Amino acid sequence: MAKLMSKKTKEIVKTTTVLVLVVLIITFYAIYPLIMVPDIISRSDKNNTDNAENSQQNDPTIFIEAGLNPDTLTILTNDNIKLACLYFKPDSLDITPSKGTVILLHSDDTDRTAIIPYISPLLDSGLIVIAYDQRACGLSSGSYHFAGDYEADDLVDLIAYLNIHEMLTSPIIAVGFNLGADAVIGASREESRISAVIASDPYLSSSRWIAKRKEIFELLSIPLNNMTYYWWFQKLTGYPFDRTFAADLQPIETKTTIFVPDNEIETEEVIKLKEISQPEFLTISSMSVDNNELQDAVLLEIYSAIDLSKDQVE
């Protein structure tokens, strides 16, 4: 009898163990990511979807209060995302032609107001400036951020629209931060009108984007976590592309300066990009954690790309 009970006990223990493992697997690989992944890829103001009742006007009030006077544009992308765009002209444009066009793309955790400090110095230098809320940010529509691919397509659509309406002056310099940096790098591969790219702390691969988002939101490091989170990202958004790694990077073929934090300048993606790109096209520079110093460095790169003399920018 004791042996029989012992056998039954063992079977109960085995069954319970299996059930616990199944529950844990379902929890960590289905329930938990299904709850958490939308947070790391969706817009910060989640109530602001692209439903008509929640759509917002392209309100430039914050920029006007900062002493700027933009024209407002709403650009419709190929997948029907509305981009809230602002177009700034230098005061001197009525007297002298613009020296070029600068397009500014904010990071994925901010909106276009984050780049306000860059605008006045560029206008004072005789440059046209364009800023817009990226998809799923600010006053633009869309629910999700992607891995830079759709964001790059958005920039290509924007440039095509502005070119058709004769609102661009060459050279065109595309400047982006974080996911915006990936967008300007990606767009430069398709849009030959982009003369130079300045990319601040890009992710460079979708694997690194997912990994960085996981760190920011402090998601659990379950076994195969990046693959799991990326899989759910694809399922939730319908994202059609496979996950990319450092080995999947393509060489830079447009004059590009990439600013990278000191502690990440030896990442696989940065090393790989340097290996496969010609030095006349790619410059890697360490970036300051101080916003003012970074701003100065970015502005100098813009002036250098447009070949403005010191007297012209002072």
Q: Check whether residue 194 and residue 302 sit in a common domain.
A: yes
Q: Check whether residue 182 and residue 224 sit in a common domain.
A: no
Environment class of residue 101 by beta-carbon count within 10 Å: exposed (0-12), middle (13-18) or buried (19+)?
A: buried
Q: Check whether residue 109 and residue 223 sit in a common domain.
A: no
Return the DSSP state at 144: B
Residue 88 and residue 126: Cα distance in Å, rounded?
11
Specify which residues 255 forms β-bridges with. Answer: 196
**Domain of 223?**
1-41+206-240
Q: Is residue 55 in some structural domain? A: no
The residue from 240, 255, 290 where one domain ends is 240
Q: Is residue 174 in some structural domain? A: yes
Query: Considering the chain, what is the average pLDDT of its residues?
Result: 89
21 against 299, higher pLDDT: 299
CA angle 204, 210, 212 (to 5 degrees): 80
**3-state SS assignment for residue 12:** helix
Q: Check whether residue 117 and residue 88 sit in a common domain.
A: yes
For residues 251 and 189, the answer to whether their CB atoms sit within 8 Å is: no
Q: Is residue 53 in some structural domain? A: no
pLDDT category at 98 given cuts 50, 70, 90 is confident
Residue 250 and residue 149: Cα distance in Å, rounded?
14
Q: Check whether residue 116 and residue 67 sit in a common domain.
A: yes
- Provide the domain count of the chain: 2
Q: Is residue 155 in some structural domain? A: yes
Q: Mean per-residue pLDDT for 168-192?
A: 97
Specify which residues 40 forms β-bridges with. Answer: none
Environment class of residue 26 by beta-carbon count within 10 Å: exposed (0-12), middle (13-18) or buried (19+)?
A: exposed
Q: Check whether residue 75 and residue 120 sit in a common domain.
A: yes
Q: Is residue 52 in some structural domain? A: no
> What was the pLDDT predicted at 55?
54
For residues 40 and 32, the answer to whether their CB atoms sit within 8 Å is: no
Residue 193 and residue 118: Cα distance in Å, rounded?
22
CATH of residue 276's domain is 3.40.50.1820
The residue from 240, 255, 286 where one domain ends is 240
Q: What is the DSSP string of 122-153?
A: HHHTT-EEEEEPPTTSTTS--SB--SSHHHHH
Q: Check whether residue 158 and residue 248 sit in a common domain.
A: yes
The residue from 186, 218, 240 where one domain ends is 240
> What was the pLDDT predicted at 48?
52
For residues 142 and 135, the answer to whether their CB atoms sit within 8 Å is: yes
pLDDT, tens digit, 9 for 90 and up, residues 5-61 = 576 777 777 777 777 777 777 877 889 999 999 999 999 887 655 444 445 689 999
Q: Is residue 47 in some structural domain? A: no
Q: Check whether residue 274 and residue 255 sit in a common domain.
A: yes
Residue 64 vs residues 71, 88, 222: alpha-carbon distances, Å: 11, 11, 47
Residue 71 and residue 73: Cα distance in Å, rounded?
7
For residues 70 and 86, the answer to whether their CB atoms sit within 8 Å is: yes
Q: Check whether residue 286 and residue 264 sit in a common domain.
A: yes
Q: Check whether residue 134 and residue 275 sit in a common domain.
A: yes
Residue 262 and residue 14: Cα distance in Å, rounded?
51
Q: Check whether residue 118 and residue 253 sit in a common domain.
A: yes
> What was the pLDDT predicted at 284?
96
For residues 198 and 302, the answer to whether their CB atoms sit within 8 Å is: yes
